[in-house]
Amino acid sequence: MRESIRPALVLLGAFTVLTGVVYPLTTTLVAQLLFPARASGSIVVVEDGARGSTLVGQPFAGTRYLVGRPSATAPVPYHAAASAGSQLGPVSPVLDSLIRTRVAEARVREGLASDVAIPADLVTASGSGLDPHLSPAAAALQVSRIATARAVTPDSVRSVLARATAPRWLGLVGEPRVNVLVANLLLDGVIAAPPSFR
């Protein structure tokens, strides 16, 4: 019996150190060396401090700002420690009611007629509840409101949104996406260019 237990305990200890200490430290070190900004959370830091992460959505209030996707986290929206979807399925009457309410709110906020299609990402939360991106169509829908609130031309707002839009990875994978935090910081003139790590 002792002959069986001793090797098992040695292997348990060795693999605990290997997988619980050596591997995490090695991957952290490699990530910090190769991608320091991304490994540290893709935080946008300006003169007066951190403004947020390009990886986690956050709420923006006021007509001057691009509005992101709804968040399903609790107890507050975009709560990174409580990342979760709503757990509401496609046939849920609660989800149907939420979407109808959000569509009505978007129409009022953007001054849209009842026949204008609302992009799905403006009225549905992502699986994590923390998505920091919008589709270009959802961002374009907000151009007129933002331009009016800021007393600028719609083309100048479109230009900023284009600068905050990341293309498909390698031109093939994923979809173009607008980072809401980056777009709003560019609109405010807080940053002059999008961060390279977005």
Residue of 3 and 184 predicted with greater confidence = 184
Coil vs helix vs strand at 177 = strand
Share of the chain above pLDDT 70, in %: 99
Domain identity same for 56 and 152: yes
Domain identity same for 148 and 95: yes
pLDDT at 198: 56
**CB distance 42 to 182 below 8 Å:** no
Domain identity same for 22 and 113: no
**Chain-wide mean pLDDT for the chain?**
88
pLDDT at 147: 95
Domain identity same for 101 and 27: no
Domain presence at residue 76: yes
Domain identity same for 182 and 147: yes
Domain identity same for 102 and 167: yes
47-83 b/e (C-beta count within 10 Å ≥ 16 → b): eeeebbbbbbbbeeeeebbbbbbbbbbeeebbbeeeb
Share of the chain above pLDDT 90, in %: 50
pLDDT tens track for 4-19: 888 888 999 999 999 9
Q: In the block, which residue shows the tokens 């829908």?
A: 141
Domain identity same for 17 and 75: no
Domain identity same for 59 and 17: no
Domain identity same for 79 and 121: yes
Domain identity same for 134 and 75: yes
Domain identity same for 83 and 103: yes
Q: Which domain holds residue 44?
A: 37-188
- Report residue 120's pLDDT band, with 50, 70 and 90 as the boundaries: very high
Domain presence at residue 195: no
Tell me the mean pLDDT in the region 123-149. Answer: 92
Domain presence at residue 196: no
Entry pTM = 0.81
Domain presence at residue 140: yes
Most distant pair of Cα atoms in the chain: their distance = 81
Q: Which of 103, 52, 96 is nearest to 86 (CA)?
A: 96
